Amino acid sequence: MPDQAQSPLLEVRGLQKWFPVSKGFLQRQTGFVKAVDGVTIDVQPGETLGIVGESGSGKTTLGRCITRLYQPTGGQVIMRVDGETLDVTALQGKELSKFRRRAQMIFQDPYSSLNPRMTVLQTVGEPLLVNNLARGKELEQRVTETILQVGLRVEHLQRYPHSFSGGQRQRIGIARAIVVNPRLVVADEPVSALDVSIQAQILNLLLDLQQKFGLTYLFISHAMSVVRYVSDRIAVMYAGKLVELGPKQELLSHPKHPYTEALLAAVPKPSQRKQGLRLVSPGEPPDLANLPPGCVFETRCKYAVEQCRAESPALVEVEPGSYVSCHLAKSLALQGI
Amino acid sequence: MAASNHYPVLIEVQDLQTYFFLHEGTVRAVDGVSFNIYEGRSLGVIGESGCGKSVTAQSIMRIVPSPPGREVGGSINIHLRENGSGAEEVVDVLKLPASGPKIRSIRGKYIGMIFQEPMTSLSPLHTIGDQISENLLIHDKRVSKKEARERTIEMLARVGIPRPQRLVDAYPHQLSGGMRQRAMIAMALICGPRLLIGDEPTTALDVTIEAQILDLIKKLQADFGMALMYISHDLTVVGEMSDEIMVMYLGQVMEYASTDEIFDNPLHPYTVALWRSIPTIEGKLERLVPISGSLPSPFAVIPGCRFFSRCDRRKPGVCDAAPPPLKEVAPGHKVRCFLY
């Protein structure tokens, strides 16, 4: 567990990403899809912060705003690295490319995230080349070291993506991310597209690399079991909002947000396989272009009261390190695992 | 709980071989698979991509894309029983022409199937109501259009579609993923089939929606008294849905046993390795033990055990010399491994 007292590597303050929606022949802008709407979160150096949520919860958009693949609509991202304080949301030009060396991404689909016309050497070497970090013999040397670290072999250097299996392709994607010695790696569903027997290889590789290089991970996934395996802390997102954040074990055994409880109840558990129906939470997530005025989970929440329909709850620290945005957080006793 | 073989048999699959003949070579997608499906019972099929679990289901339905695929051997006997009359007809679907009238009278009527992606089985050009009632009109000439529509609305309500009177006229794109999956279930069940095949029907869905659909399938299975063949790569999901589980690897059945046995007493090294390699939501957090290596090429012809290259208990000279048979090692528990 990383030391909470040290200053965070990353401070995310009220981050927003709204995508405009247009309609009709004239493509008039009619509103916004609020993919991420006011997310505040700290990431400690060396930790793995797991971000769980269902599709449309904004977890991927959050990751992409933090790595500046998207320009956020509002809010701030501060990164403290090597004695510098970077205002990530305002970076431009040279400063932005310098930042990209420090924050890298691993993508879900190992098939579409690699250029089929580039060899492993070219793919993994490209970040070094574009950042002017190495060239020629030195570049080859660094790429070779890196691919050995991720469990590939020297003879793979000249091969193209099509000759690799899904698991090996994901290793190439990981090598490409770590070759520039980043501090932060945002891994967006890195094992979801892989076969069951391959997932553990990649998860263990990520854990080993973290140990070896002191990496900080933002690990985005829809699978609670995977997030449980890799994370120190877990953040739960729903409809663009951060609804709960806490230390892993605390969040799993004592969830404080009704959505977290519903999510945990929905996951099939080997020990409960003989209990008939599960009484899962009904309904579906709200339309992000037309959110309810109050709490975003209110339409599906079995505990909702009048206040939940009227006011959007703020994220508050209910116990040291445990944050939740729910009007009833203090009065509910929710069931965990 | 009584074992499934005390129930009347609905489908007997014997030594099924379904191959794909491609330019690069022959893929033995299903290679000697035998199992039974019993009336009212649930069979779970687990395995990774390329293990043949979907092709097995497609062979039962005779919807293997052909060419390049073809059922080259074996038999699939379906016991067709008319409700109430006790009359029974046994048909080997592999002997039927794949688009002839007989198999079409079985597909959709006796066997319903739901897929991972509802958009592959729903037409974007027709309302869901028309698509569901079409199934009814084709299989039962006595049903009038008006009656078909009424029964469709009733079925939409049973699968949990809100305001079915209105949504019967909706197009698939107007529904959410979960609602489309419900519409597809309604389409599969409208004729009251004896068997529902689900091929990863919840894989593309979100966790809370997946839980809703799993509960719905379980409830409908009980209401209709039909058998279920549930295919998934997710062991925990299959565990919830099945009485018996069949574990497949590279076109063969590696292990077959009751769900309790597969969970509490797995025997095949592949099943054991799968359990050690998947993260779960409960229990002690230990480092996962990955299965080493990766799947062999689908074109590879493997003389011995197909799991040999990745097995941590392999015996060279034995396991790679000849293929192990699927052996019943305890009542109802079959394993394809020389260790037993």
Give the CATH number, domain containing residue A138: 3.40.50.300
Same domain, A104 and A153: yes
- Of the two residues B14 and A196, the one the predictor is more confident about is B14
Structural domain count, chain A: 2
CB contact under 8 A, A278 and B215: yes
CB contact under 8 A, B291 and A200: yes
In the prediction, which pLDDT does A1 show? 45
Same domain, A232 and A304: no
CB contact under 8 A, B274 and A55: no
Model pLDDT for residues B104-138, shown as the tens digit of each residue: 889 988 999 998 887 777 899 999 999 999 999 98
Model pLDDT for residues A83-117, shown as the tens digit of each residue: 889 999 999 988 998 899 999 999 988 888 899 99
- Evaluate whether residue A68 is within a structural domain: yes
Same domain, A230 and A328: no
- Evaluate whether residue A3 is within a structural domain: no
Interface test with B, best of A267, A279, A299 (most B CBs within 10 A): A267
Same domain, A264 and A310: yes
Using the Cα atoms of residue A178, residue A180, residue A185 and residue A186 in order, give the sign of their dihedral. Answer: negative
CB atoms within 10 A of CB A221: 24
Same domain, A233 and A264: no
In the prediction, which pLDDT does B297 show? 87
Model pLDDT for residues B46-97, shown as the tens digit of each residue: 998 889 999 999 999 999 998 899 999 999 999 998 766 678 899 999 999 9
- Above pLDDT 70, what percent of chain B? 99
CB contact under 8 A, B211 and A266: yes
CB contact under 8 A, A280 and B211: yes
Same domain, A136 and A36: yes
Model pLDDT for residues A202-223, shown as the tens digit of each residue: 999 999 999 999 999 999 999 9
pLDDT higher than 90, residue B339: yes
CB atoms within 10 A of CB B247: 26
Could you tell me which chain A residue has the CA closest to the CA of B50? A195
- Evaluate whether residue A232 is within a structural domain: yes
pLDDT higher than 60, residue B1: no
Hey, is the C-beta of A206 within 8 angstroms of any chain B C-beta?
no
What is this structure's pTM? 0.90
- Residues on chain A touching B288 (C-beta within 8 angstroms): 200, 203-204, 229
Strand B227-232 with B42-46, pairing: parallel
Residues 140-199 of A with CB under 8 A from B: 165, 167-168, 195-199
Specify the CATH superfamily of domain B4-100+195-336: P-loop containing nucleotide triphosphate hydrolases (3.40.50.300)
- Evaluate whether residue A173 is within a structural domain: yes
Q: Distance (Å, rounded) from C-alpha A10 to C-alpha A77?
A: 7
CB contact under 8 A, A269 and B278: no
Hey, is the C-beta of A271 within 8 angstroms of any chain B C-beta?
yes
Interface test with B, best of A171, A249, A280 (most B CBs within 10 A): A280
In the prediction, which pLDDT does A191 show? 93
H-run or E-run covering B236: helix B235-241
Could you tell me which chain B residue has the CA closest to the CA of A203? B288
Same domain, A226 and A325: no
Q: What is the mean pLDDT of chain B?
A: 92
Same domain, A295 and A151: no
- Evaluate whether residue A245 is within a structural domain: no
- Cβ atoms of residues B29 and B19 within 8 Å: yes
Distance from CA of B111 to the nearest CA of A (A): 24
Containing structural domain, residue A265:
255-269+280-337
Same domain, A129 and A165: yes
Helix runs in B124-193, H state only: 128-139, 145-158, 164-167, 177-189
pLDDT higher than 70, residue B2: no
CB contact under 8 A, A267 and B178: no
Could you tell me which chain A residue has the CA closest to the CA of B259? A273
Using the Cα atoms of residue A158, residue A163, residue A165 and residue A169 in order, give the sign of their dihedral. Answer: positive
CB contact under 8 A, B273 and A197: yes
Q: Distance (Å, rounded) from C-alpha A55 to C-alpha B121?
A: 22
CB contact under 8 A, A199 and B278: yes
| Nearest residue to A125 (alpha-carbon basis) of A137, A113, A116 | A137
- Evaluate whether residue A2 is within a structural domain: no
Model pLDDT for residues B16-37, shown as the tens digit of each residue: 999 999 998 999 999 999 999 9
- Evaluate whether residue A243 is within a structural domain: no
CA angle A9, A15, A21 (to 5 degrees): 145
**For residue B166, what are the CA distances in angstroms to B88, B128, B155?**
40, 11, 13
- The tokens describing B315, both together, are 């015996």
Per the document, the length of chain B is 340
ipTM of predicted complex: 0.86
- Residues on chain B touching A172 (C-beta within 8 angstroms): none
Interface test with B, best of A192, A197, A227, A274 (most B CBs within 10 A): A197
- Evaluate whether residue A246 is within a structural domain: no
- The tokens describing B98, both together, are 């794949």
CB contact under 8 A, B288 and A337: no
- Cβ atoms of residues A67 and A250 within 8 Å: no
CB contact under 8 A, A268 and B237: yes
Q: How many CB pairs under 8 A join A and B?
A: 123
Domain boundary assignment for chain B: 4-100+195-336, 121-192
- Cβ atoms of residues A235 and A12 within 8 Å: no
- The tokens describing B82, both together, are 């008319």
Distance from CA of A241 to the nearest CA of B (A): 17
- Residues on chain A touching B231 (C-beta within 8 angstroms): none
Bridge partner list, A77: A12
* Buried b or exposed e, range A53-77, using 16+ CB within 10 angstroms: bbebbbbbbbbbbbbbebebbebeb
- Above pLDDT 90, what percent of chain B? 76
> Which residues of chain A are under the pLDDT cut of 50?
1-4
Which residues are CB-neighbours of A4 under 8 A, at least 6 positions away?
Answer: A44, A321
* Buried b or exposed e, range B43-63, using 16+ CB within 10 angstroms: bbbbbbebbbbbbbbbbbbbe
> Residue A164 has what DSSP assignment?
S
Bridge partner list, A118: none
Q: Distance (Å, rounded) from C-alpha A142 to C-alpha A151?
A: 15
Q: Distance (Å, rounded) from C-alpha A48 to C-alpha A234?
A: 9
